[in-house]
Structure 1
């Protein structure tokens, strides 16, 4: 991630092409997101994680030997399929493990630790990728393929505690879960939709980081270092997410997350400078505690037998929204400027985000004062 935009540009792609590739990845995920979440419930979380890791390994391997838009297109499909198998199954397996040991009340703490470890490892990898890219922009991809392979035996080593759901009509059951999640259970629906909007916003900003650094003429070796600091920021923030949630409560957290995320876009848009880079760090602080907190809310009001499917519906919303707006903001960047693209994204995120925030305010009972 820290140097991939530079890699794409070396291969002759512009930002519109890059965002199209990211849309392909999201569409590949979206096409299988809910079915694979359901597959995790009926076939097993562990089995889906193993299959997903294999697809990801193949996708990164293809990237490491390719240099054309068409080849990258194939890699994004492989990676999208792989991630769709992993997403939902991983958090569901974690929550079921917490249930097995009667520690479900501590789920948010452990989800925060997972986010922290993931971002810390990505952060340190960012340093190495930046240094490797000084010698060759392709070298990080060779290393990435090896790292991706490690996921396969890691998934094999996991233990699953949830019983597999046994049903007669898979399609009908998926439809029932979707209907329950997005229509019948209003609280769950508003949580999924709000979490999806925020997830799409943080994902899109991740792809604006490198265009911002390029705009600032940042040396290649610094790309990995800045990426590292950003991910360390997310990791540290995620570690304290449970304490912040306990202090503020869900309604205050929803409000804080939305307005800081949208405000972060606006602040960076009007400060395409190192001041904007500072604003970006505050955005990443909010990103760090938003992800585990919003996932935790969904898990608390979801039945175990449909948990992976419900989490996949959330990821489906994230990827669908990203796939819809990514080509637009990439086109706005190439035609106008980075500032215009950031402002447009802020507006796209704010409108549905505010809608579901208001719906949550109206639906949820008022929380006691601190």
Structure 2
């Protein structure tokens, strides 16, 4: 591929990542929207639990499909499903409608997860520029976070005009994401790649997982560290709105606050290599967990306006983890198995989050938000110190043999 064509594909990929997050304009007001249409907090929690479960169930099969059928096809299918979910929200009334929409989103997110980063890495690998992967993935992540920031502000304003206006905008943007997915360069399914190399038929999904979990210790450590960091980051998500109410922030400002979250996360994605260098003496996961522990403890102890700045530490980790983890996983797995294993990493992340979330919710109901945040911060601190005490062996990530690549 000529350099000009490569740059066009990179720009198109960045545009796709921004547009596919079109419904981020609804995030600052989504709980208000659900409650306005008859959902209690219990219903909201159950809805998200079902969503999380579906994503976990679909993650590895979708990544396997991306490896076997081609990344572009799976990305396109996921984009269409997400656009359908956005369209349902435009007309949704009540639990069953919201559930149908969340099912579409779970399918769409699962399809795109892993396949998008694998598509970019293979695009660069084919052009001998794989060393630019972290830079370009971080750039796309920064653009998407910046887009989320703008949309978050728009969402708060649009919601005051009409409660469905944010969903109208989100649906249009996600429809444009489908068009971007159509224009991405198609990649050959794994069977075609194997035939070109003279290799054997692709391994089954179960065999891929079994072999890597038993023999690739670096991947296992990344899987565990990522799950811990992701759970500790996401557990505070449903606390943000009630915490801001506790701090006296008016709901009209929620969109601006969420927008600033995305700006900070995007900046962290762009500077992920620098953040890695600050904590390169610690095992993978220990550094982000220490930052998260400080964040949760600060929010719990301050319990007021002084606690708001600590929320931004969680956004730093959110943007940092995506790029750092993706690079590390790409370094230790074969190209033909990359999307499958990235999806398995995502399963571990969401599984840990799904297990921790109900416990955090119960803590918030029983003890109140400040005490719950302090308890969460204390637990995260203990885990971070435990990982740090394991020493350098936890983060050791040497490149392992990659038979699917070696036959080239």
TM-score, structure 2 as length reference = 0.82
Deviates more, 1:273-282 or 1:286-295: 286-295
| Counterparts of 1:101 and 1:257, CA distance in 2 | 33
Specify the structure having the higher radius of gyration (Cα).
2
Aligned residues of 2:283 and 2:388 also touching (Cα < 8 A)? no
* Residue aligning to 2:33: 7
Q: Is 1:71 matched up with 2:97?
A: yes
Q: Deviations over 1:53-98 (max 9, x none)?
A: 1111111221221231232122211111110001000111111112
Deviates more, 1:83-92 or 1:290-299: 290-299
> Using CA pairs below 8 Å that are at least 6 residues apart, which structure has the higher relative contact order?
1
Match runs of 1:67-216 below 5 Å = 67-161=93-187, 163-165=189-191, 173-216=204-247
- Structure 1 residues 103, 266: closer, same or farther in 2, change over 3 A? same
Unpaired stretches in structure 1, ≥5 consecutive residues: none
| Counterparts of 2:110 and 2:396, CA distance in 1 | 34
Which residue among 276, 281, 288 is the counterpart of 1:257?
288
Deviates more, 1:263-272 or 1:328-337: 328-337
Q: Deviations over 1:27-53 (max 9, x none)?
A: 111111001000000011111111101
Aligned residues of 2:226 and 2:285 also touching (Cα < 8 A)? no
Aligned residues of 1:30 and 1:319 also touching (Cα < 8 A)? yes
TM-fit CA distance, 1:344: 4.9
* Residue aligning to 1:330: 361
Q: Is 1:233 matched up with 2:259?
A: no
| Counterparts of 1:185 and 1:177, CA distance in 2 | 11
* Residue aligning to 2:75: 49
| Counterparts of 1:45 and 1:366, CA distance in 2 | 26
Q: Deviations over 1:147-201 (max 9, x none)?
A: 121111111111144652469998x711111123322211111012211221232
TM-fit CA distance, 1:345: 4.1
Q: Deviations over 1:179-236 (max 9, x none)?
A: 2332221111101221122123223323322222233342232111111111101111
Aligned residues of 2:55 and 2:107 also touching (Cα < 8 A)? yes
Deviates more, 1:152-161 or 1:222-231: 152-161
RMSD: 2.6
Task: Work out the number of aligned pairs and report it.
Answer: 366
Match runs of 1:350-361 below 5 Å = 361=392
Match runs of 1:274-285 below 5 Å = 274-285=305-316
TM-fit CA distance, 1:361: 2.7
- Structure 1 residues 173, 343: closer, same or farther in 2, change over 3 A? farther
| Counterparts of 1:160 and 1:65, CA distance in 2 | 34
Aligned residues of 1:165 and 1:305 also touching (Cα < 8 A)? no
| Counterparts of 1:364 and 1:318, CA distance in 2 | 17
In structure 1, the residue corresponding to 2:302 is in which secondary structure? Answer: coil
Unpaired stretches in structure 2, ≥5 consecutive residues: 1-26, 195-199, 399-408
| Counterparts of 2:380 and 2:345, CA distance in 1 | 16
| Counterparts of 2:48 and 2:379, CA distance in 1 | 18
